[in-house]
Structure 1
Amino acid sequence: MPMNALPAAILAHMVAIKNVPPPPLRSIPALKPSSNINYGQLSALCHRREVQRSRHSSLNLAAHNAFIKRYPQIFLHKKPALPKIPQEVEQRKSANEIEEKKLQPDESHNIAVYIRQAHGGPCLYEEKSTTKFQEFLDILKKLPVHRTIHEHNTVWSMLKKIPELASQLSDAQLKILSKKVVTETWIKGSTVTGNDGLYIILKGLARPRVKVVVNLFEDSDSIMSTICTEGFIFDADLKDPTKAVIYLPSVEIKMKRWDTFGSLEAPAATEKGEALNSIVMEDDCEILKIPTTEYRKLKLKKAKSEDVQMFKLIRKCPYYEKWPTLYIYDLVAFSKWKIFPPGHVLVESGTVISFVGFINSGYCDIYRNVVGLVHLQLNKVKKVKKLVYMGKLKEKTSFGEISVLLQSPFTCTIITGQEVEMTIIEDKDIFMLDPVIKELMIQTAKPTFGHLTDEDVKNKYIQKVQQKEWRSFKNKTLKRTLDYNGVLPGFGKWEHYWKTIPRNLKDTLVSY
C-alpha cells in the first residue's frame, strides 16, 4: 500500500515512533466522513507536528505516550442498548369483541338491527357469513342443470351443516340430493303442509300450527274472541256437531333460519307430527325443500346396487355357481348385509346356527373340540376339552345351509379371525323359500368341514402336542448345553439384539 493512502492518524503514529517526518497533508486523498470517528480529536493529534518532528528521545517518548493515550478518543462509542423492562399488558381482545364494541353505538339507535334479529336475520357484524349465505341463496334459485360444479359443492357443504340432514343421510346420499334441491318462496300468511318432503327455513319467520279441540256449547265465545283479537288464520274441522277441531298457529314456538319440518319418510300420524308438519308464515319466507320422491329414488337406487353386489357374491360361492339366475334372485330378496367384529363366535359346536352366511370380506377360523390330557403335579393327569384349529373359511364361501334346513347341530366352532362382512339369510326367511329352492340347496350344499372325522381331529391334536413338547425339549437342551460350557448369549462371540435384557441376565457379574 503506498504511503499517501494511509490515514493521517496512522502516519503521525509512525512518525512518533520511528522519527520519520510525515508527508505533507495536501498529498492525502480526501476520505469520506465516517460516523464512527471523532474528527475533532483526530485533528488535535495531527497538529502536534512540533513534538513529532523533534529528534530528542525523551520528547519522542512523551509524544508517543500522549498519542497512545488520546488515540482511543478519536472513535465514537455507541451507548449500549439496555433491555426494556417488561410491563404488564392487558390481554388482547378477540377480533369479534373489538368489532362488536365498534358497532355498539350504531346498533343502539339503528332499528334495522333489532328488526333483523327479531326476524332471524343476520347482525351487522356478520357480514362475511351473510355474504356466504346470500351466495348460497342465489345458487339455489338457479335450476340444478344451470349450476356449476363449484356451486354444487357449495350447496353440499352448506347442507352438511344441518344436523337434521347429517343424522339421516350419509355424505354420498347428501351429495346426490344437493344436486336436485331448489328453494320455494312463500308469502306472508301462507300455510305449508310438509307431508311430501323435508322443509328447511332459510329466510323469514314462521309458526307451527297446533291442534285445539273446542266445545261449541261451552267455550266457543272465548275462543272466537281470541281468534278475532289476535287475527289468527286457522282451519276448522266440524265433523262432530258438539266439538270443533281448530288448527291455530302456536304462540310459544317460533321457527326461523335452519329450522326444519316435515320428513323424508312418510308423515307421522301422531298429534306431534301434525303440529310440526304444518306451519303458517309470519313473513315472506324462503324454504328449501327435499322431496320425499327424490329420497325414495335414492333409497331404491342404493337397494338395487346392494342387490347386484349380493347377487355377484352368492354366484361366486362354490355351491351356487351353477344355480339358475332366478333362484339366486329369490335368495337376494331375503338377504341383508351384516358386519361381525374380530373374535366373534358365530356358532358353537353342538348348536344349530340361526342363519346362512356368505362371506364377502375377511375370514373365519374353524375349531373342533377334543378331549385332551393335562399333566398335573405328582404324576397326575386331568381330562380337559380343548379347541383344535382345523382351517379357515375364506372369502366367497358360504356356510350353515345344512344346519338350518335339516336342523342338525354344527360339528365345529366358527370364530371370526378379523372383521368379517357377509350377507346373511335368517332361518325364518329360509323356511319361507320355495320348496324347490330349499331342496336344491340341500342337494348342492355340504356340511361345513363335514369331511373331518374324529380320527383326523385326534391326529391333529397329537401333532400339535408333539410339536409343543419338541420345542420345549429343544429349548431346555440348548440352554443346558450353553450353561455347561459357560457360554452366555450376548457376550463374546454370541450377539443377540434383544429389545429388553432377559431377567436372568440382569445385575450379573461376568468374569473371564
Structure 2
Amino acid sequence: MPVGSLSTSILASMIQVNNVPPPPLRSIPRLRLRKTINYSRLNALCHIRGLESSRHSPLYLEAHNKFIKQYPQIFRHEKIVLPEVPPQIDKSKSGLKAAKKHSLEKSHNVSTYIRQVRGCFDEEEISPEAFLEFLDILKKLPVHRTAQEHKTVWKILKSIQALTSQLSNEDLKILSKKVMSETWIKGSTVIGEDGLYVILTGQARHCLKVFRSLTEENDSVISSLSRESFLFDAKLKDSTVIELYVPSKKLTLKKWSVFGSLKYTPEMDESERAVVIDDDCEILKIPTKEYEKLKLEKVKQENAYKLKLIRKCPFYESWPTLSIWELVSLTKFKVFPPGHVLVECGTVISFVGYINSGYCNIYRNIVGFVDLPANKVKKVKKLVYMGQLKEKESFGEISILLQEPFTCTIITGREVEMAVIEDKDIHALDPVTKELMIQTAKPTFEHLTEEDIKCKYIKTVQEKEWKYFKNKTIKRILHCNGVRPGFGKWKHHWPSFPKNFKNTVIS
C-alpha cells in the first residue's frame, strides 16, 4: 500500500474514533487540531523508516507492525479528578491524641519541644486509669513500692509544670521515691511551711489576712463567721482589733495546683502558705526535710569530687587530707570559653585554678623585628607558644601569696572547666596552710630562660618562612609546566557534556 493511502486510512479511522465526519482528502491539511490527539507522536509514526518500501518486503511489514502497535499512543487520556473526600474525625482517645500531637507539631512554642525531648507530657494527657493507679501507689509506703511503681510516680510528677520549674529532672527522680499522699477533710486548714504540696483531688482556697474591729456590728466578715463551716485562725492584735485569716473566693486551688515551699522562709507571710479545704482532698506532699537531705547529698558528692581533683594535682600529692578539706570548702566550679585570657604577663592573678577538663596554652612575651619597606626594621612585642597546662594541674598559688606578677600569659585552648579559689579566700587561710602551699607550689613554667624563648621564637619564624617559600616555589613550578591541581589527564568531572562532544553513546 502506498504511503499516501496508508496515512489517509489512518487519519480517517482517527477522525471516526473522535466522532468527526470524514472530510474530503483535499481538506485534510486544514483539519482543526483536536486537544485529544498528540500530533507530534502522529507525525513521528508517519515517518517511520520502512513505510516507503514495497508492500511485500520484510522491512515494510516490520514498520507496519510497529505503526499499529504504537498507534494508540497518539490519543491523550485526560486524568479524571475526583472530588476530595473530607477526613473523618475520630472521636476515640487515640484520635484525640493524634490530633493533639498534630497540633503540637505545628506549634512554634519552644517549651513544647523541650518537654518532648525530656520525655514530659501535660497533665491533660494522663488517662483516668493511670491517675487512679498513681493515687493507689502514693498511698503505699515508699519501701513497699516496686521499681515500676517508682518509675510511674516519676513520670507523672514530670508532667506537673509547677514542679519542673523548681526541681531538675534528677532531683525529681530522687524525690519521687520519697513522696506520699495525704487525705484532708473538708474545712481543714493546711499550713504549707514544711514542704511543697500538690492538690490531686478536690478543691481548696488560699487564706487572706484581714484586720477587723470588734466594735463594728455591721461588719460583713464578722457577721459571716456563724454561717461559714470553716475554722479561722484569729489573733487579738489590740483590745478592739482582731487578725483573721479568711478564705479567698478568687484564689481557688484545683487539681494539679501547688502551694507551700521547699525552702523554709520565716519572712513569708502565713496567709501565703495557709490553705482552707473546700472538699475532701488528696494532697501530694514533698517534704522540705527530704529536699534538704538531697541538697546535702549533692554537696557531699561535689566536695568529694573536688577533693579528688585537688589530690591529683602534682603540688598537692603529699598534702594531708585535713589541709585539702580547707581548700575544698572554698572552691567553686567555673567554665571558661576557648580563647579566654586567664592572666596576662606582668599582672598578679586573682584566683587559683585547678583544671578539671580542657587545657590552657602558655605564651611568653618577646621583642621581635618586623621588616618594613625601604629596608627599615620595627620592634614589635610578640607571643611565643611555650607549652600547655593540662588536666589535673594547678596554677596561681605563688602569684597570690607572694604578690608576684606572672611571667607568662595563659589563654584557654578550648572550653575549660576548673575549680577556682578567689584571692580573698586564699589570704583568709590559716598561716600553716599558706606556708604549706608556698613550700609545695612553684611558679608556672619557671624553668624557661630568655635563651629558651629566643630559640623557640627563631625556630618558629624559620618554620613559617620555610613553609611560605616551599608553597610559593611548588606553585610556580607547577604553573610553568601547565599543571593545575585538581585537573588530571585521564579523569574529568564534567557537570554536563561539552557542546563539541559528538559521541552520544557514553552515559
- Alignment correspondent of 1:245: 243
- Work out whether residues 154 and 173 of structure 2, in 8 Å CA contact, stay in contact via their aligned partners in 1: yes
Q: Distance in 2 between the 1:259 and 1:347 partners?
A: 51
1:39-75 CA-to-partner distances (Å, cap 9, x unmatched) read xxxxxxxxxxxxxxxxxxxxxxxxxxxxxxxxxxxxx
**3-state DSSP class of the match of 1:95?**
coil
Within 5 A, what are the aligned runs for 1:228-267?
Answer: 228-229=226-227, 232-267=230-265
**3-state DSSP class of the match of 1:306?**
helix
Within 5 A, what are the aligned runs for 1:81-120?
Answer: 85-93=81-89, 95=91
1:173-196 CA-to-partner distances (Å, cap 9, x unmatched) read 221111111100000000111111
1:158 aligns with 2:179: no
Which of 172, 175, 179 is 2:173 aligned to? 175
Provide structure 2 residue ranges, at least 5 long, that are not aligned to the other structure: 1-76, 97-123, 494-507
- Work out whether residues 234 and 247 of structure 1, in 8 Å CA contact, stay in contact via their aligned partners in 2: yes
Q: Distance in 2 between the 1:435 and 1:455 partners?
A: 37
2:174 counterpart letter in structure 1:
I
Within 5 A, what are the aligned runs for 1:501-512?
Answer: none
- Work out whether residues 351 and 420 of structure 2, in 8 Å CA contact, stay in contact via their aligned partners in 1: yes
1:149 aligns with 2:147: yes
- Alignment correspondent of 2:219: 221
- TM-score where L is the length of structure 2: 0.71
1:241-297 CA-to-partner distances (Å, cap 9, x unmatched) read 3432211111211111111111111235133xx333110100000011111111111
Q: Distance in 1 between the 2:89 and 2:240 partners?
A: 65
1:425 aligns with 2:421: yes
1:190 counterpart letter in structure 2:
S
Within 5 A, what are the aligned runs for 1:334-373?
Answer: 334-373=330-369
Which of 305, 309, 331 is 2:301 aligned to? 305
- Alignment correspondent of 1:269: 267
- Alignment correspondent of 2:193: 195
- Work out whether residues 187 and 230 of structure 2, in 8 Å CA contact, stay in contact via their aligned partners in 1: no
Within 5 A, what are the aligned runs for 1:474-485?
Answer: 474-485=470-481
1:147-191 CA-to-partner distances (Å, cap 9, x unmatched) read 111111000111111223223322222211111111000000001
**3-state DSSP class of the match of 1:168?**
coil
1:294 aligns with 2:290: yes
Q: Distance in 1 between the 2:393 and 2:125 partners?
A: 60
Q: Distance in 1 between the 2:464 and 2:179 partners?
A: 67
Q: Distance in 1 between the 2:474 and 2:311 partners?
A: 54
1:278 aligns with 2:274: yes
1:417-467 CA-to-partner distances (Å, cap 9, x unmatched) read 222222111112112211100011011101112222333223222221111
- Work out whether residues 365 and 415 of structure 1, in 8 Å CA contact, stay in contact via their aligned partners in 2: yes
- Alignment correspondent of 1:55: none
1:14-46 CA-to-partner distances (Å, cap 9, x unmatched) read xxxxxxxxxxxxxxxxxxxxxxxxxxxxxxxxx
Q: Distance in 2 between the 1:494 and 1:370 partners?
A: 52
**3-state DSSP class of the match of 1:251?**
strand
Q: Distance in 2 between the 1:316 and 1:98 partners?
A: 57
**Change in 2 beyond 3 A, CA 1:128/1:366:** closer
Which of 203, 206, 209 is 2:204 aligned to? 206
Q: Distance in 2 between the 1:433 and 1:317 partners?
A: 19
Q: Distance in 2 between the 1:382 and 1:420 partners?
A: 36
**Change in 2 beyond 3 A, CA 1:408/1:92:** farther
CA RMSD of superposed structures (Å): 2.9
Q: Distance in 2 between the 1:458 and 1:146 partners?
A: 73
1:402 aligns with 2:398: yes
1:139 CA drift (Å): 0.9
Percentage identity across aligned positions?
63
Q: Distance in 1 between the 2:323 and 2:151 partners?
A: 43
**3-state DSSP class of the match of 1:180?**
coil
- TM-score where L is the length of structure 1: 0.70
1:285 counterpart letter in structure 2:
C
- Work out whether residues 206 and 255 of structure 1, in 8 Å CA contact, stay in contact via their aligned partners in 2: yes
Within 5 A, what are the aligned runs for 1:3-22?
Answer: none
Provide structure 1 residue ranges, at least 5 long, that are not aligned to the other structure: 1-80, 101-125, 499-512
Q: Distance in 2 between the 1:338 and 1:303 partners?
A: 16
2:145 counterpart letter in structure 1:
R
- Work out whether residues 187 and 229 of structure 2, in 8 Å CA contact, stay in contact via their aligned partners in 1: no
1:470 counterpart letter in structure 2:
W
2:142 counterpart letter in structure 1:
P
1:130 counterpart letter in structure 2:
P
Q: Distance in 1 between the 2:218 and 2:367 partners?
A: 85
1:85 CA drift (Å): 4.4
1:229 CA drift (Å): 4.9
Q: In the comparison of the two structures, how many residue pairs are matched?
A: 390
